[in-house]
Amino acid sequence: MDSKRIIEHIVKWLKEYSSHSKTNGYVIGISGGIDSALTSTLCALTSKKVIVLNLPIKQNKTEFERSKEHINWLMSSFNNVETFTVDLSNTLESIEKSLPNKIQDQLTMANTRSRLRMATLYAFAGHYKLLVAGTGNKVEDFGIGFFTKYGDGGVDLSPIADLYKTEVYQLASSLGVVKSILSAKPTDGLFEDGRTDEDQIGATYLELEWAMEYTTKNDIGDLTQRQKDVLKIYNTWHHQNKHKIEAIPVCIIPRN
């Protein structure tokens, strides 16, 4: 993969999209993970206005510190970047007091966190006339649907959604993203126990990339037991999350 050419292509695409939409630039939520680190850096390279938000919600301290480290690096590297920290912990607590206890399972409240962040990103986007840049990669957005509908999936455009996770790491490394993020295990940051993506999914991104490629080919070679297990994990996630991956179904009314 020619990292330099791909970076140039994405940055050019981002510039043109913002210009055509008559917006001033981009706003991105920084999670302390590799995807938001790469996305924010690519947006900063456009020379357009970029706002990066640190949005802790009862956050794991390590994740919060990684976010701050990346934001500090961005601020020192680009003069078109500014930042805000908006602690949404009290907002989540207010929602928890309002919702019936019986519906407050871990996944429901994790998704609620993500949707609170989305609403905050759009508050800044609307005020500053910016676009919300998505941070999902190819496996998450089109393979297993590993995102929150109307949460981190609620964006205006997706600069890195045609990149596998391994490619995200390659581009981020070439751009000088801080080592703490390059070496961190991927996590969505939506659970207080700091569980990783692999903990939740049951497979690594490298395995999921293999499965995503395998399902598009007619390769019928012998598979190891682990490969069979990974394919099952991939297919299960893909099918149960099709409602996220595909366009919203519309009931078409026959006009005759």
Enter the pTM of the model.
0.94
The CATH class of 3-193 is alpha beta
pLDDT at residue 220, rounded to an integer? 62
pLDDT at residue 222, rounded to an integer? 85
Element (DSSP H or E) covering residue 54: strand 49-54
pLDDT at residue 58, rounded to an integer? 87
25 — alpha (psi -120 to 50), left (phi > 0) or beta? left
Given the DSSP bridges, would you call strands 49-54 and 131-132 parallel, antiparallel or unpaired? unpaired
pLDDT at residue 219, rounded to an integer? 65
Query: Domain extents for the chain?
Result: 3-193
Residues of the chain with pLDDT under 50: none
What are the residues whose beta carbons fall under 8 Å from the beta carbon of 147, sequence distance 6 or more?
114, 136, 140, 141, 153, 244
Element (DSSP H or E) covering residue 170: helix 165-174
pLDDT at residue 218, rounded to an integer? 63
pLDDT at residue 61, rounded to an integer? 85
- What is the spatial distance between Cα 84 and Cα 3, in angstroms, rounded to a whole number? 30
